[in-house]
Chain A
Amino acid sequence: MSTQTFFSLNGEKSLNPIISARGLWKSFPGVVALKDVSLDVLPGEIHAILGENGAGKSTLLKILYGIYVPDKGDLFFGGRKVVVTSPQDAVRNGLVLVSQVPQLIDSLTVAENLSLSLSQFGYVSSVRKVSKFLLEKGREYGVRVDPDIEVWKLSYTQKQLVEVLRALLLNAKVIAFDEATTLLPHAEKEKLYDFMKLFKSKGGSVLLVTHKIPEAMEVSDRITVLRRGEVVGTVRTSETTLDQVRYMMFGERLTQLNSGKYEKLGEKGSEVLVVRDLWVRSDYGVYAVKGVSFSVRKGEILGIAGVAGNGQLELIQALAGLRKSERGSIRLRINGNEIDVTNKGSTAIRRLGIGYIPDEPVKKGVSLDNSIEENIAVHPRLTRFLIRWGDVKSLATDLVREFSIVTPSTNAKAKVLSGGNLMKVLVARELTVSKVALVAYNPTRGLDEVSTRYVRRLIVSKAVSEGMCVVVASEDLDEIMEISDVIAVMNSGSFVGVFKSGVSREEVERVMVS
């Protein structure tokens, strides 16, 4: 029926794409997110879409899924030209989206959520009926979740599973994952990969959107690379190499990735941050940090490793003045003066020149409805009573250039930025104000490779050249290994091992899980 055959290889039967996009354009105020993008998804393939933050991956998926309407271009599902204006249209055509931020309603139960998607249940049908149906189907597909539990009580992985179950119940021919695996712990990630392969073996297709090259290389059959809204190319995974894909993804910027190791200072200065017997409670009122003591010297980077949820977050928050310390002390030694900052509040602490990078920028670090300039001006070290807009503007302009933040202008609202660019705004602001110390939790989570390198290098070089002391906790052990001078492993609220840099990864992992 189709006259065009986009994919035909010697001997193989030519396949007609299930989904095919032709010449898609989409712009938002100030950015062209997609420029003439075409894509084919073949039956029974895992097709990765790879690109840096802000490359336009999510925009492409949202167009396929009917959330955005393209400015120009055509969509074909099963060879038929279609206009997709809502997710229902997409679902009818066999495409279901699983996004990084689970699109579930927190206050509703799993059954209530899924009932909204299942057209076989009429509007007056009872939720109990849906709930029974889910139990049955969940058993059948091997996806076990309690249908009557409210979604906010689920873990991130469980929410993803609910989304996968939803896709299966909707008889998806293509399941699209928008960075849905990026934040998962390794074991869970494997489970999802296995599921993808199983789904593929049954004739389904998977669109796997990611900014992590290894992820794309590991499971996909083909990879389409997007750069700044344009398709750089589509390659077969088995016929390409990591370097080739990296070149496609970053182009000339690749050199920035390969410019050598971090420069480290041999000698450290005097102690700047001294923490003694610190006890901090978690949100549930139990002790999450149990009598931790340490000190960090001028120019030194203390990396805190550990499996998530062992008190790292609470410790970091206490240091930033965002959580009460029940016992113990936090002291700073600045220019020979000793300042007790225990429970002094974050405004005071940050005026002293302590930077803080939280891991969920959208919730904890920036205000989406304000501009980049306003998000910079709000910092207590930069502004006391009056905002000097001229200074703020030139600082913002510098930071946007220095961090290559993709934005229409420094006046743009933060919500128009992609997740990675938002994180960059936050990191840029905090590094600017950190004169004495920097406290960070997963500082590069959600950043692409180039930005990640950039941020890590900046942290190290500020430590070296300006003598800033750093405490960074990260779930990414590689990050800790890469930048720390001293590595402390946190387990059940205590430091269970302290190592000098150069320790083997195995050694650290061993104490992490013991």
Chain B
Amino acid sequence: MIGEILNVIIAMSPIFVFLYLASLGNSLVEKSGILNLAIDGAYTLGVALVFTLLVFVNDPTLALLITSLLIGLLGVLIAFLTTKLPISHGAVGLSIQFVGYGLASFLAYPMSLKVRAERISLNTYLTIPEVVLTFLTLSVVIGVLTYLLIYRTKLGAAIRAVGENPAGASALGINVLKIRIVATFLGYVLIGSASSLYLLLYTKNWQEGLGMGYGWISFAISLSSGRHPLVGIATSIIFATLIRYAYVLQDVLVGYGISISTFIVIALPFIAAVFIPLVVTAIPQLRRRFAPPKHLGKIFFSEERSV
């Protein structure tokens, strides 16, 4: 019995880790008021980057660290563009998303040919209990730390302040750009490590388009947990279960004489990604508690009057 539970946990942990960390990152970014539409591009790019780096350094941890740092810098760029220039968060986010998609193929595709041609064996993480449980523990610890950061420290108060009311925050003496840069850097480092772990701990190899869509699922997790790091644990478990056990569900349903197409099974987490946030926002109590930061996605003009 205990063994079975452990097996389930080990099977689900990698999925939980690569979803939860990215959703944490998204929450940090959005708490600071930046609409994070670039997330899926960044995720896909992260997967490609870690793969490319792995071919060169052949050390998963080193590849993970460099990827996280580089994706973190991408976050800094986003914070700068959305805060300093009067362009919409949507335009910045979506263009960076497509740049991310494109760059991912551009970098990783030649590498994948090289790996195949030269029969390089990639040194990824082993899916053994010790490793998997270490990452699981680490990600929960990071989640708790993120919670403490957001709700118990001055930096957290500053991040929430610039997301709610940047003009007010700036009148209180906060440099909006600086705080947003810190928040998106940390957030994108998390998104970068999540996407790295997606490859290093889960797929172990790369193919065209790998990682696409998982950024959005993490986005949905963050949204339907009200961008709360601890609530996000529960939401991530739901999505991890969907991804891991959708096929089991299909089998079970067949047993009852219901057959659903495999396409739907594959799409299930994405359908849930649309559906769960909708349900959450339709429930008045949750909607109020999970309300987005007031200034999320709005352009911040530092000279705009605040009547």
Q: In the assembled complex, which residues on chain A have CB atoms less than 8 Å from the CB atom of B248?
A: none
Interface check A491, CB cutoff 8 A: no
B182 to chain A, nearest CB (A): 8
Residues of chain B from 248 to 290 with CB closer than 8 A to chain A in the complex: none
Report whether A67 and B171 are in contact in the complex, using a CB–CB cutoff of 8 Å.
yes
Interface check B205, CB cutoff 8 A: no
Q: What per-residue 1/0 map shows which CB atoms of B167-205 lie under 8 Å from chain A?
A: 111111111000000000000000000000000000000
Q: What per-residue 1/0 map shows which CB atoms of A32-73 lie under 8 Å from chain B?
A: 000000000000000000000000000000000101110000
- Kindly state the separation between the CA atoms of A415 and B307 in the bound complex, as whole angstroms: 8
Residues of chain A from 91 to 128 with CB closer than 8 A to chain B in the complex: 91, 97, 99, 101, 103-108, 112-113, 115-117, 119, 121-128
Report whether A104 and B152 are in contact in the complex, using a CB–CB cutoff of 8 Å.
no
Report whether B169 and A124 are in contact in the complex, using a CB–CB cutoff of 8 Å.
no
Report whether B305 and A123 are in contact in the complex, using a CB–CB cutoff of 8 Å.
no
- Kindly state the separation between the CA atoms of A368 and B298 in the bound complex, as whole angstroms: 15
Given B160, B173, B304, B305, which contacts A105 in the complex, CB threshold below 8 Å? B160
A57 to chain B, nearest CB (A): 13
Q: In the assembled complex, which residues on chain B have CB atoms less than 8 Å from the CB atom of A69?
A: 303
Q: In the assembled complex, which residues on chain B have CB atoms less than 8 Å from the CB atom of A121?
A: 154
- Kindly state the separation between the CA atoms of A69 and B302 in the bound complex, as whole angstroms: 10
Q: In the assembled complex, which residues on chain A have CB atoms less than 8 Å from the CB atom of B158?
A: 116, 123
Report whether A87 and B307 are in contact in the complex, using a CB–CB cutoff of 8 Å.
no
Report whether B172 and A67 are in contact in the complex, using a CB–CB cutoff of 8 Å.
no
- Kindly state the separation between the CA atoms of A101 and B164 in the bound complex, as whole angstroms: 16
Number of contact residues on B: which range applies? Answer: 20 to 34
Given A108, A117, A362, which contacts B173 in the complex, CB threshold below 8 Å? A117
With A67-B303, A101-B306, A419-B307 already in contact, the answer to whether A123 and B154 are too (CB < 8 A) is yes
Report whether B155 and A103 are in contact in the complex, using a CB–CB cutoff of 8 Å.
no
Interface check A461, CB cutoff 8 A: no
Interface check B165, CB cutoff 8 A: yes
- Kindly state the separation between the CA atoms of A113 and B156 in the bound complex, as whole angstroms: 11
Report whether A86 and B155 are in contact in the complex, using a CB–CB cutoff of 8 Å.
no
With A113-B172, A368-B307, A415-B307 already in contact, the answer to whether A127 and B152 are too (CB < 8 A) is yes
Smallest CB gap from A363: residue in B: B307
Interface check B161, CB cutoff 8 A: yes
Q: In the assembled complex, which residues on chain B have CB atoms less than 8 Å from the CB atom of A130?
A: 154
Q: Is the interface of B mostly helix, strand, loop or mixed?
A: helix
Interface check B140, CB cutoff 8 A: no
Given A88, A97, A103, A419, which contacts B175 in the complex, CB threshold below 8 Å? A88
- Kindly state the separation between the CA atoms of A415 and B301 in the bound complex, as whole angstroms: 13
Report whether A87 and B173 are in contact in the complex, using a CB–CB cutoff of 8 Å.
yes
Smallest CB gap from B161: residue in A: A105
Report whether A108 and B154 are in contact in the complex, using a CB–CB cutoff of 8 Å.
no
Interface check A422, CB cutoff 8 A: yes
Smallest CB gap from B302: residue in A: A67
Report whether B173 and A99 are in contact in the complex, using a CB–CB cutoff of 8 Å.
no
Interface check B153, CB cutoff 8 A: yes
Report whether B154 and A107 are in contact in the complex, using a CB–CB cutoff of 8 Å.
no
A317 to chain B, nearest CB (A): 22
Given B152, B153, B160, B172, which contacts A107 in the complex, CB threshold below 8 Å? B160
The A/B interface has a contact count, at CB < 8 Å, of: 94
With A127-B154, A130-B154, A415-B305 already in contact, the answer to whether A106 and B164 are too (CB < 8 A) is yes
Interface check B157, CB cutoff 8 A: yes
Report whether A116 and B307 are in contact in the complex, using a CB–CB cutoff of 8 Å.
no
B120 to chain A, nearest CB (A): 43
Given A68, A105, A126, which contacts B153 in the complex, CB threshold below 8 Å? A126
Report whether B164 and A86 are in contact in the complex, using a CB–CB cutoff of 8 Å.
no
Q: In the assembled complex, which residues on chain B have CB atoms less than 8 Å from the CB atom of A88?
A: 173, 175
Report whether B303 and A125 are in contact in the complex, using a CB–CB cutoff of 8 Å.
no
Q: In the assembled complex, which residues on chain B have CB atoms less than 8 Å from the CB atom of A117?
A: 172-173
- Kindly state the separation between the CA atoms of A105 and B175 in the bound complex, as whole angstroms: 15
With most chain B CB atoms within 10 A of its CB, the pick from A68, A112, A127 is A112
- Kindly state the separation between the CA atoms of A362 and B170 in the bound complex, as whole angstroms: 22
Report whether A123 and B153 are in contact in the complex, using a CB–CB cutoff of 8 Å.
yes
A430 to chain B, nearest CB (A): 19
Report whether A116 and B172 are in contact in the complex, using a CB–CB cutoff of 8 Å.
yes
Report whether A108 and B160 are in contact in the complex, using a CB–CB cutoff of 8 Å.
yes
Report whether B154 and A116 are in contact in the complex, using a CB–CB cutoff of 8 Å.
yes
B142 to chain A, nearest CB (A): 16
Q: In the assembled complex, which residues on chain A have CB atoms less than 8 Å from the CB atom of B165?
A: 105-106
Report whether A125 and B153 are in contact in the complex, using a CB–CB cutoff of 8 Å.
yes
Given B152, B156, B157, B303, which contacts A68 in the complex, CB threshold below 8 Å? B303
- Kindly state the separation between the CA atoms of A65 and B170 in the bound complex, as whole angstroms: 11
Q: In the assembled complex, which residues on chain A have CB atoms less than 8 Å from the CB atom of B157?
A: 108, 112-113, 115-116, 127
B199 to chain A, nearest CB (A): 32
- Kindly state the separation between the CA atoms of A368 and B158 in the bound complex, as whole angstroms: 27
Residues of chain B from 37 to 53 with CB closer than 8 A to chain A in the complex: none
B302 to chain A, nearest CB (A): 8
With most chain A CB atoms within 10 A of its CB, the pick from B153, B158, B304, B306 is B153
B187 to chain A, nearest CB (A): 16
Residues of chain B from 131 to 158 with CB closer than 8 A to chain A in the complex: 152-158
- Kindly state the separation between the CA atoms of A126 and B153 in the bound complex, as whole angstroms: 4
Q: In the assembled complex, which residues on chain B have CB atoms less than 8 Å from the CB atom of A103?
A: 167-168, 171-172, 306
Q: In the assembled complex, which residues on chain B have CB atoms less than 8 Å from the CB atom of A415?
A: 304-305, 307
Smallest CB gap from A100: residue in B: B307
With A87-B171, A115-B157 already in contact, the answer to whether A126 and B307 are too (CB < 8 A) is no
- Kindly state the separation between the CA atoms of A126 and B294 in the bound complex, as whole angstroms: 24
Q: In the assembled complex, which residues on chain A have CB atoms less than 8 Å from the CB atom of B167?
A: 103
Q: In the assembled complex, which residues on chain A have CB atoms less than 8 Å from the CB atom of B174?
A: 116
With most chain B CB atoms within 10 A of its CB, the pick from A69, A91, A107 is A107
With most chain B CB atoms within 10 A of its CB, the pick from A68, A115, A126, A130 is A115
Q: In the assembled complex, which residues on chain B have CB atoms less than 8 Å from the CB atom of A122?
A: 154
Q: In the assembled complex, which residues on chain B have CB atoms less than 8 Å from the CB atom of A368?
A: 307
B3 to chain A, nearest CB (A): 42
- Kindly state the separation between the CA atoms of A429 and B175 in the bound complex, as whole angstroms: 40
Report 19 cross-chain contacts, Cβ distance below 8 Å, ordered by A residue. A69-B303, A86-B170, A87-B170, A88-B175, A99-B171, A103-B168, A103-B171, A103-B306, A108-B157, A112-B160, A113-B172, A115-B157, A122-B154, A123-B155, A126-B152, A126-B153, A127-B156, A362-B307, A419-B307
Nearest first, the 5 closest Cβ-Cβ pairs linking A and B are: A112-B157, A103-B171, A123-B155, A116-B172, A115-B154
18 A-B pairs besides A115-B154, A121-B154 with CB distance below 8 A are A67-B170, A86-B175, A87-B173, A105-B160, A105-B161, A107-B164, A107-B294, A112-B154, A113-B157, A113-B161, A116-B161, A116-B169, A116-B173, A117-B172, A123-B158, A124-B154, A362-B307, A415-B305
State the B residues within 8 Å of A (CB): 152-158, 160-161, 164-165, 167-175, 294, 302-307
